[in-house]
Amino acid sequence: MEWTRSDTIALAMQKCARCHGLGLRTGPKIGIGPCNCVLRAIFRACYARFRYCVEKEKHISRATLEFIPGRDSRVCWGRKDEEYIADFCLVSRRTLNELEHKVFKYHFLLGADWRLCTRRLGMDRGNFFHMVYRIEQKLGRAFRELKPYALYPLDEYFHGPRRPPEEIRTETKPALRQTQRRAALRPPLLKTA
């Protein structure tokens, strides 16, 4: 994925010493890439939505009809909240290594604070918070760059992609031409002379 300033500027920390609020970083090794403050903001937005989906009353959750785009586009029923919870957990397990996933599970999923985690994992406070930052950055990137359906932006995950008007216009053009061609059918006419 190619990151642009439009993707990052709204998420960047204004006082960030690395990107100065622009959200993009350049370097000989990384090229142009998102700043860590942007990746952490993405993770925190996804995590807040995860907590909302888990904590809300289950009778509010409902099946919704959704359009699945692609070559074989179709419409099917789904439970978006439950799918999001599963995606959040599975992508995290796939992205993190064993120790990182342990910290993720204790701190983010089970809600243990740093004292409990450091005692349980035999880490000191500094290493624990470094690891938490690293987890947030890794998962923020994974949630945004996931293909074909990224977890972030959340509104696109839950309500489908918003396409620019030009794309919709170019898609409708061939269909219109086809309708016009179809309209030119000539039924056999009675010859009068």
Interface residues with Zn ion (CB under 5 A) are: 16, 18-19, 35, 37
Q: How far is the CB of 37 from Zn ion (least distance, A)?
A: 3
Q: How far is the CB of 20 from Zn ion (least distance, A)?
A: 8
Per DSSP, 35 falls in state -
In whole angstroms, what is the distance from residue 50 CA to residue 55 CA? Answer: 9
Which C-beta is closer to Zn ion: that of 9 or that of 109?
A: 9
Other Cβ atoms less than 10 A from the Cβ of 81: the count is 20
In whole angstroms, what is the distance from residue 186 CA to residue 88 CA? Answer: 57
Q: How far is the CB of 137 from Zn ion (least distance, A)?
A: 11
In whole angstroms, what is the distance from residue 115 CA to residue 125 CA? Answer: 8
Which C-beta is closer to Zn ion: that of 22 or that of 123?
A: 22
Which C-beta is closer to Zn ion: that of 35 or that of 132?
A: 35
Residue type, 153: P
